[in-house]
Amino acid sequence: MTGLTAEQLRRFDEDGYLIVEDVLSEEDLARIEAEYREILDRAADGLVRRGRIRPLRGGAFSERYVEAMRQIDDMYALYQHLDISLPLVEDLGLSHTLNTGPEVFRLLTHPRLLDIVESVIGPEIYSNPIQHTRIKPPVHCLPDAILDSNVAATGWHQDSAVATREADDTDMLTVWLAVTDAFVQNGCLVVTPGSHRKGVTRHCPGMASSAEIYIPETIIDLDRVIPLEVKAGSAVLLHKMTEHGSLENRSEGIRWSFDLRYQPIGQPTGRSVFPGFAARSSARPDLVVTDHAEWESLWRQALHRIVNGEADAAFNAKWEANAGHPLCA
Ligand SMILES: O=C(O)CCC(=O)C(=O)O
């Protein structure tokens, strides 16, 4: 096992974040890009047939993605094919989709990544379904008022805040993976080092039912904030209480990352309507999911349960009481 060193663990404990370089190889990144290229092209063909966009002409994935995003009126018509979660909306229909392909599953269960996770949370590892891919086009290609953190900047938050209360004691670890280089100009992560030791920070509910919760910037200690510039293939580990967000993409290229979460098997995930899975276990190896088709089927079943009203999909409700607070105005 090639997990973290004692020094890396000490720094993570002290700072609430840790950059680990070279977690993914160039081959890993190329395989992910190839999977996404195929999905994008299939989704774009459908949109072209329905007259929603013109045929894409660019060569590289990034060019084709930006071209499509620039043209589309409802970005979810495209983005739902790329994300690795269903959206947090109340009007889910059976036609909603997500990417549960073999390469993204290979990423979630990547041995190098699980070794790192094991050093922090132990050998019984559950893949928590709070996860996204964020493919951010240059901000000037997006509609002005867009607040969706999959494609635009991410507001300040602690990751524990996006899970329901039942997971308040869950030892959830965020692993943020850079598919492209991430730097200030293209919207890298920003964190407040050591903020995980302060406890829970006040979050405000989003403006609309599907909008994202956030910590008002007025209570962030902006003098202490640092950007986390990383190379493609690097991981950033985040403690669930670390205050963080990301900047706008003011470059001309895309900024692409995955944020995955892991926790010990048996603890609540904080998003129980979505499916997690055992990713590594020495106690119960028979429980470990090794086939992306099985993972895909778990998501399909979850979608059916939500659409049929068999599962309560109340997301982010825990901050609604702050709606009238002056800091949230
Ligand atoms: O990549 C981003 O913009 C934000 C990621 C994030 O906030 C998270 O992983 O919790």
Which of ligand 1's atoms lies nearest the C-alpha of 246? Answer: 3
Residue 288: inside a domain = yes
Query: What is the CA(154)–ligand 1 centre distance, in A?
Result: 6
Looking at the domain assignment, is residue 64 inside a domain? no
- pLDDT tops 60 at residue 180: yes
Ligand 1, CB cutoff 6 Å, lining residues:
134, 149, 154, 159, 174, 176, 244, 246, 257, 259
Q: Is residue 41's pLDDT more than 80?
A: yes
Please tell me the predicted confidence (pLDDT) of residue 309: 85
Expressed in angstroms and rounded, the spacing between residue 255 Cα and the centre of ligand 1 is 12
**Does residue 42 surpass a pLDDT of 70?**
yes
Distance from the Cα of residue 224 to its chain's centroid: 24
Q: What is the Å distance from ligand 1's center to 3 Cα?
A: 23
Q: Which residue CA neighbors atom 6 of ligand 1 most closely?
A: 245
Would you place residue 208 in the very low, low, confident or very high pLDDT band (cuts 50, 70, 90)?
low
Domain, as residue range, for 109 = 6-26+91-328
Radius of gyration of the chain from its Cα atoms, rounded to whole angstroms: 19
Q: Which residue lies with its CA nearest to atom 10 of ligand 1?
A: 159
pLDDT > 90 fraction of the chain, expressed in percent and rounded: 83
Residue 248 has pLDDT above 80, yes or no: yes
Q: What does the pLDDT average to over 271-286?
A: 96
Rounded to an integer, what distance in angstroms lies between the CA atom of residue 107 and that of residue 97?
Answer: 19
| pLDDT band at 206; cut points 50, 70, 90 | confident
The average pLDDT across 96-119 equals 97
Do the domain assignments include residue 265? yes
**Helix (H) and strand (E) counts in the chain:** 7, 10
pTM as predicted:
0.96
- Does the pLDDT value for residue 210 go beyond 60? no
Is 49 part of any domain?
no
- Is residue 84 included in any domain, yes or no? no
Q: How far is the CA of 132 from the centre of ligand 1 (A)?
A: 8
- In a domain, residue 71? The reply is no
Domains contained in the chain, number: 1
The residue to mutate among 255, 259, 271, having the most atoms of ligand 1 within 8 angstroms of its beta carbon, is: 259
199/195 Cα distance (integer angstroms): 8
CATH at residue 120: 2.60.120.620
Q: What pLDDT is attached to residue 310?
A: 84
Report how far ligand 1's centroid is from the alpha carbon of 311 (Å): 26
Q: How far is the CA of 282 from the centre of ligand 1 (A)?
A: 30
Judged against a pLDDT cut of 60, whether residue 259 lies above it is answered with yes
Q: How confident is the model at residue 87 (pLDDT cuts 50, 70, 90)?
A: confident
Position 61 in a domain:
no
How much is the average pLDDT of 47-65?
Answer: 95
Question: Which residue minimizes the CA distance to atom 9 of ligand 1?
Answer: 259
User: Cα angle at 186 between 183 and 191, to 5 degrees?
Assistant: 55
Which of 315, 247, 320, 327 lies closest to 87, judged by CA? Answer: 315
Interior angle at CA 236, CA 183 and CA 150, nearest 5? 65
The number of the ligand 1 atom at minimal distance from the alpha carbon of 244 is 7
In a domain, 50, yes or no: no
The answer on pLDDT for 209 being more than 60 is no
